[in-house]
Amino acid sequence: MTTLPHTPPAHRNGHSAPEEPSANGPDSNSRDEERLLIARAVERDAEAFTELYDRNVVRVYRHIYYLVNDIREAEDLTAQTFLKAWEAIDRYKERGAPIIAWLLRIAHNLTISFLRSRREHGVLDEAFIDQKLHRNPEDAFEQSTDEASVRRAILNLRDEQRQVIMLRFVEEMDYSHVAAVIGKSVPAVRVIQHRALGNLRKIMQG
């Protein structure tokens, strides 16, 4: 069995996810390269899949980390995401979006299942405390409280609304790519986003 690359090392001295590349869509040359890599990976070329891993692992990790707020759990779920992707790569179909859209769908579903399991077992979510050195403790605590409140509010949204908010505002995907991830039309994504933002406001004010 092919061994997949290890997940990226997180910052052990803090609680922030690693830096990641721009979320803007890849240019045409990059998309062509990606398609060639996918074609090879579909034929079970582990080297090609490793290249796809290297190109996308940080964004997958960041998406998961935002939801679970735990470095080790994010690393484990990232590894699971790519393992599932490797197992299913021969069934991959491009639907007008880069492969990161497919990977994020796998990552999101895995992470939500994990969070539901944790909630069922009574594990409480700890508040996120930002420990970056350039801020004083008062500022760090105030921002961490805000971030934790927003994160909890997002987690309280319905599945579809939560995914749209994550993809639009955390991953900064455009409407067409979000539509490809969730299998909806662009107008439907706009409606879901509008309702999600309204529900977020209610949750935050409630």
| Secondary structure of residue 91 in the 3-state scheme | helix
Helices (H), the chain: 28-42, 46-68, 71-88, 99-120, 137-155, 159-165, 175-182, 186-205
Q: Are 130 and 15 in contact (CB under 8 A)?
A: yes
Which class does domain 134-206 fall in? Answer: mainly alpha
Which class does domain 26-126 fall in? Answer: mainly alpha
Q: Are 181 and 187 in contact (CB under 8 A)?
A: no
Q: How confident is the model at residue 136 (pLDDT cuts 50, 70, 90)?
A: very low
pLDDT at 138: 42
The C-alpha angle 22, 57, 75, rounded to 5 degrees, equals 125
For 162-173, letters b (16+ CB in 10 Å) and e give bbbbbbbebbeb
pLDDT at 84 > cutoff 60: yes
Domain positions in the chain are: 26-126, 134-206
Name the residue among 129, 164, 133, 162 with its Cα closest to residue 144: 129
Give the highest mean pLDDT range of 6-15, 71-80, 135-144: 71-80
